Amino acid sequence: MANEAHPCPCDIGHRMEYGGMGREVQVEHIQAYVTKPPFDTGKAVIVIQDIFGWQLPNTRYMADMIAGNGYTTIVPDFFVGQEPWHPSGDWSTFPEWLKTRDARKIDKEVDAVLKYLKQQCHAQKIGAVGFCWGGVAVHHVMMKYPEFRAGVSVYGIVKDSEDVHSLRNPTLFIFAENDAVIPLEQVSLLTQKLKKHCKVEYQIKTFSGQTHGFVHRKREDCSAEDKPYIDEARRNLLEWLHKYV
């Protein structure tokens, strides 16, 4: 996701060739991709897309990875049928495109998905994981919905003009040191505000040498230098879910 004040490319990185282990379903007014775990645990995770949409194979790969660790996962179309951003799009038009896709105005969709998970999947404990645009959405959800057990916000933009510290659920924030989209100053500001005001468990991890999108947009085999960081971030994500959900 690009910073609205200074739009810049959000590189799609490596678009995976991945078919998926789940199935597409209709959840009230939105479509969604759902994957069941090997065994029913009564736990579920909402996986929230980046700007490239709910059908991006990379996001479905992450959802399937989480499902394989004991969670029903669902990747809803939070753009509600609107076109996702295209990698070859004109970045000068990005701010206008984003106006109709506000990551903090998703409550109607979240409510529908929560109802589906509770009634159709019999989920009793629910978490949320989001990437890029979805990281902003997770941050919003963690401040609004007490029924979530935990959340993981992966390189979601932090704005200094907004309340960022009133978390209601344990939240892990993952950032990249060399993120052209999220300056380290934003991460430092978030750290300061959470340290001063936050009343629930949280953790902020910044991965050295990494760039925006590294957790879900880089193939594990892309370079020997990157692989340990990708593996660690994904492991941290799962550990956070296991601890709190």
Nearest Cα residue to 123 out of 238, 26, 27, 44: 44
Catalytic residue among 132, 140, 216, 226: 132
- Do the Cβ atoms of 177 and 210 come closer than 8 Å? yes
Q: Is 198 a catalytic residue?
A: no
| Residue count (the chain) | 245
Q: Is 212 a catalytic residue?
A: yes
Nearest Cα residue to 138 out of 206, 76, 65, 212: 76
Catalytic residue among 50, 64, 77, 179: 179
Pairing of strands 43-48, 125-131: parallel
Q: Is 226 a catalytic residue?
A: no
Pairing of strands 30-35, 23-27: antiparallel
Gap between the Cα atoms of 150 and 219, Å rounded: 26
Q: What are phi and psi of 154, to 5 degrees?
A: -105, 115
Catalytic center residues: 132, 179, 212
